[in-house]
Amino acid sequence: MNRDSGAPLYEFFAGGGLARLGLADSFSCVFANDIEPAKASAYRRAFGDETMREGDIWKLSPADLPGQAALAWASFPCQDLSLAGERRGLAAPRSGAFWGFHQLIERLAHEKRAPDVLALENVCGLLSSHGGSDFMALIHALDDLGYRVGALEIDAALFAPQSRPRLFVIASRNVPAALISSGPSEPFHSQGIRNVVARLPDGLRKRFVWWRLDTPPKRNTRLADVLDDEPQGVAWQSQEHTAKLLGQMSTLQRARVDALRESGRREVGAVFRRIRVEHGERVQRAEARFDGIAGCLRTPAGGSSKQLLLFVEGDQVRSRLLSPREAARLMGVPEHYPLPAGQTAALHLVGDAVCVPVVRWLSQHLLAPLAGVGIERKSA
């Protein structure tokens, strides 16, 4: 892939580098770090060996980082902040890696090399983790480093046919008046953000920034637009498997499928299996959506996390798994990006990443202006 050009960027918890793809119009990555060997390997396949440093962020020192970056990006682990991670919070081993990032920025500040802008990405569960105390601790920690801090909740569905709300905490040493609003505004300042900010201590609340971010044009793509007729490496399920999937639907869900069959239209729905408690018993249910949007991509840890596709074409109903390349398209990843060869590895990489067009919009309309960077398009 082409080398990006722009202001210097440090990318922490880099995964396969999807944030870098979104930032590449304005920022040039000079250092990247991830602790997972498989992700570091995928990053190197995509961008080369030059910038990736594999290992624990706690073991990094300022001497490992070249020069001074305009922006540091950190998609720190979310497992302990989401419901799947039992909400253990920032003190837990994985999400506690944030403090390794914080320590590194603090030490860079002592050398007068701290980036002017920090961008942290995580699940929206951070807002309510431990009653909001984890979010407050993060805001307080960045404020103590001399940054003005604000937060935005952005759903990838604004840009791509995938429901994927994520929280972006943006911290900057410089706060131009043109980039702030007098208060919260739709669609990026959710009620969750408003509620937790209202509970901040007075001084911290007064310094909190309501970032101004332009709303993107209306999305014009649907789930069906990113799907292949015959995807590589993914087989159609047998009629028996499809019948079992339909049998796992609730009465209401099944009625919707039957109505689509009777209409004769071709529709594609995204399906997840979930455990529901009904009449005191745990029941596995298949839940489909036919609104042109996929459910949030997840890492393929189990059957319930694997997203299925249900194709309704008149009387014919077929089903199959979402392919890795289709999942990558839902994340805005270009076709030339080299996905891992194995299906599970590829789905894990994209399911644990950030949506590229979300990052690109955030970069062009907030991060680059904060960093004083002019936007220059890369050559294709």
d(CA 370, CA 275): 44
Same domain, 249 and 290: yes
**Exposure string over 23-45, b if 16+ CB within 10 A, otherwise e:** bbbbbbbbbbbbbbeebbbbbbb
d(CA 361, CA 169): 15
Same domain, 154 and 38: yes
d(CA 148, CA 292): 38
Same domain, 212 and 239: no
Our measurement of the distance from residue 328's CA atom to the centroid of its chain's CA atoms, rounded to an integer in Å, reads 12
Same domain, 148 and 19: yes
Our measurement of the distance from residue 156's CA atom to the centroid of its chain's CA atoms, rounded to an integer in Å, reads 8
Same domain, 56 and 139: yes
DSSP state of 211: B
Length of the chain, in residues? 380
Would residue 88 count as lying in a domain?
Answer: yes
Task: Answer whether the bond into residue 334 is a cis peptide, omega within 30°.
Answer: no
Q: Which of 78, 124, 296, 355 is catalytic?
A: 78
247: CB partners within 8 A, 6+ apart: none
d(CA 163, CA 34): 26
Same domain, 80 and 152: yes
Same domain, 362 and 306: no
Would residue 329 count as lying in a domain?
Answer: no
Range of the domain at 274: 235-322
Would residue 330 count as lying in a domain?
Answer: no
Pick from 19, 24, 50, 52: which is nearest to 36 by CA?
52
Same domain, 103 and 28: yes
**Is this model's pTM higher than 0.85 or not?**
yes
Same domain, 42 and 167: yes
Our measurement of the distance from residue 81's CA atom to the centroid of its chain's CA atoms, rounded to an integer in Å, reads 14
d(CA 236, CA 320): 5
Same domain, 178 and 240: no
Would residue 348 count as lying in a domain?
Answer: no
Same domain, 150 and 188: yes
pLDDT tens track of the chain, all 380 residues? 544 568 999 999 999 999 999 999 999 999 999 999 999 999 999 999 999 999 999 999 999 999 999 999 999 885 444 333 343 444 544 446 888 899 999 999 999 999 999 999 999 999 998 888 889 989 999 999 999 999 999 999 999 999 999 999 999 999 999 999 999 999 999 999 999 999 999 999 999 999 999 999 999 999 999 999 989 889 999 999 999 999 999 999 999 999 999 998 899 999 988 888 888 889 889 999 999 999 999 887 654 567 899 999 988 999 999 999 999 999 999 999 999 998 999 999 999 999 999 999 999 999 999 999 874 434 32
- Domain total of the chain: 2
Q: Can you read off the two tokens belonging to residue 58?
A: 């706690």
Same domain, 139 and 185: yes
Residue 78 is a catalytic residue: yes
What is the H or E stretch that residue 369 is in?
helix 368-371
Strand partners, 167: 122, 153
* Longest Cα separation, the chain: 69
Would residue 180 count as lying in a domain?
Answer: yes
